[in-house]
Structure 1
Amino acid sequence: MSDTKAPDTKAPDSARRSERSRRAIYDAALALVSEQGYAKTTVEGIAARAGVGKQTIYRWWPANSKAAVLMEAFLDLAGQAGEAVGATAESEIPDTGDLAADLRLVLRATVDELNDPVYDRPTRALAAEGIVDPALGAEFTAKLLEPQLQLYVRRIEAAQSAGDIDPGVDPRIALELLVGPLHHRWLHRTLPLTHAYADTLVEYALRGLSARR
């Protein structure tokens, strides 16, 4: 009897292969929209950069494929960034009992994201396209912006329950005191975004929001 082993004919792990392909598509979509803008990015271009057939993209994202791919890729990117500070759509802004420290942590992380070309360029491209394409803009707001803002709302509400924030404060307006100036400076590039600036925003905002003793 021969001791020669039969060749391993185990089929490749299709789930792992699909995940690699999906990740390649995400990376390609974000790279292309950063390099040439949303309007010039195409499904064909994404497929070529990712090394997959365009039918793979149409199969996984059958409706409005380019927008769907980019939105999903961007949500994935944003999720990875959120995990770095412990805040995602599934979790919350950290609540250590020190509201100022928690807000500084999150705003500093946001500064790092907005200064990172990997995040900055596709954000600008999609934000710009959302102005001229109301449907894309609404999707961008509903799927990405609003869930992030609700994290602030819930953290501020928790601070109100703890007696740290004036109970009469509207949490939605309160969060805009924090994120509004940050994104204004980022969007218009008026001055550099720094951790010191983020810390100052927290300090100034909490002066007005803190409960009166």
Structure 2
Amino acid sequence: MVDKPAPDASRRSEKSRRAIYAAALALVAETGYPKTTIESIAARAGVGKQTIYRWWPSKAEVLMEAFLDLGEQAAARQGDEQVDGPGEGPPDGIPDTGDLAADLKAVLRATVDELLDPAFEAPARALAAEGVVNERLGRQFVAKLLEPQLELYVRRLRSAQDAGAVRPGVDPRVALELFVSPLAQRWLQRTAPISYEYTDTLVDYALYGLAPR
């Protein structure tokens, strides 16, 4: 009688984890955050709800991790696409071509595409809204999602300062809010559509104020 190898628990766990990520993101997009439950995620993923509770304490935590993974997967694909490119900047960073306006406009246009992508938009709105009332989730949202992205702008603006394109006394952490915050507010509150033209204008206005006199 031939002994069969024992199932690989790590592979089984990873498969379940991926199914849970996909289920959480899909349900939030289809039914909205309030109607998404641990039970519905478990049913869609084909796992027991105790499997989810073993790894995450709440649906908010599930969605946060699924959303982070979504971003990592997108960054990995972008990196693969840029392997043979000119190498002007890291795939998950902001290019530094020497033209600050062009670099910021390119990144903000990509941000517009992401914000208008249904796969990204629904979970992003859900996490932003839940973070307002859920202090713990709100801190995680800022620490894990917002701050790493904002730091990329800080680095690019400091590089521009070194090159003389931004006044020496400007605080990059404050300066980036001139174009990032209006875009986020317009998107979150739906006060008006977001577009390439809008983000290009934000960059032009911001850099007019940041440029050396």
TM-score (norm 1): 0.83
Deviations 1:49-77 (A, max 9, x none): 1112223223333xx24222111111112
Q: In the superposition, relative to structure 1, how do residues 85 and 170 fare at CA in structure 2: closer, same or farther (>3 Å)?
A: farther
Partners of 2:211 and 2:77 in 1: how far apart? 28
Alpha-carbon RMSD: 2.6
- 2:36 matched to 1:35? no
Question: How big is the shift at 1:170?
Answer: 1.0
Amino acid at match of 1:52: V
Give 1:180 deviation, angstroms.
Answer: 1.1
Counterpart contact for 1:25–1:46, Cα < 8 Å = yes
- Unpaired segments of 5 or more residues in structure 2? 80-89
Partner of 2:139 in structure 1? Answer: 138
Between the aligned partners of 1:174 and 1:83, the Cα distance in structure 2 is: 29
Matched AA of 2:178:
L
Cα pair 2:60 2:127 within 8 Å, conserved: no
Of the candidates 22, 37, 55, which is equivalent to residue 17 of structure 2?
A: 22
Partners of 1:29 and 1:131 in 2: CA distance: 20
Are 1:78 and 2:71 counterparts?
yes
Aligned to 2:100: 99
1:129 is matched with: 130
Instruction: Indicate the larger mover: 75-84 or 40-49.
Output: 75-84
2-structure distance, mates of 1:90, 1:84: 9
Q: Is the contact between residue 61 and residue 137 of structure 2 (CA under 8 Å) also seen in structure 1? A: no
Measure the CA separation in 2 of the matches of 1:117 and 1:71. 16
| Displacement of 1:105 | 1.4
So what's the TM-score if we normalise by structure 2?
0.83
Which letter maps to 1:68? E
Structure 2 partner of 1:114: 115
Runs of 4+ in 1 over 6 A off after TM superposition: none
Greater Rg by CA: 1
Alignment: residue pair count: 203
Q: Match for 2:13: what amino acid?
A: S
Aligned-residue offset at 1:119: 0.9
